[in-house]
A = this chain, B = another copy of it.
């Protein structure tokens, strides 16, 4: 977790420095494993004084987490709106897998997890997905369809993809589609159970 303001809200020189730091982290992560990363190494690559990194982030783990979050959750991202729950879930599962499944993104995600110590209850990655799940559910209900819960979307669509990618379990689009179909089945089951009331 970080308490610093997001990059996009700062301007001018400060934004350029942040951009250089983010880019340096991205390049270094792309070149090798995160355990080679230190603040002096990032500072040299970014062409900034290490002191300004220490002042803003305290340690390399906090910087890595912030960069990982920025890489994994695009600001303004919205859940797909295809006109049906089945379509929305399938499209979203594919997008999540694309987001985290490329080698570079997987490295980010693993670095983020390795930087964690204990719980991260307000992890921006998940907070963002919960907001998107809520929007998707609201649209589904507005169409008169029964919807899964936010927890069901997080636990049965998002989390299995994160777990698989983190663990290095081979995962392709057919797995994403299967997860989406199962979440749809859970939502439809709610229809069956509540129809008799």
Q: Which residues of A contact B (CB under 8 A)?
A: 33-35, 103, 110-111, 113-114, 116-121, 123, 125-126, 151-152, 155-156, 158-160, 162-164, 166-170, 175, 178-179, 182, 185-186, 188-189, 192
Contacts and interface: CB of A to CB of B under 8 A. Distances in A.
Contact of A120 (B113, B114, B126, B168): B168
Which label, helix, strand, loop or mixed, suits the secondary structure of the A interface?
helix
Contact of A160 (B118, B119, B155): B155
B114 A169 contact: no
Contact of A162 (B120, B166, B192): B166
Given A114-B34, A160-B156, A166 B166 contact: yes
Contacts of A34: 114
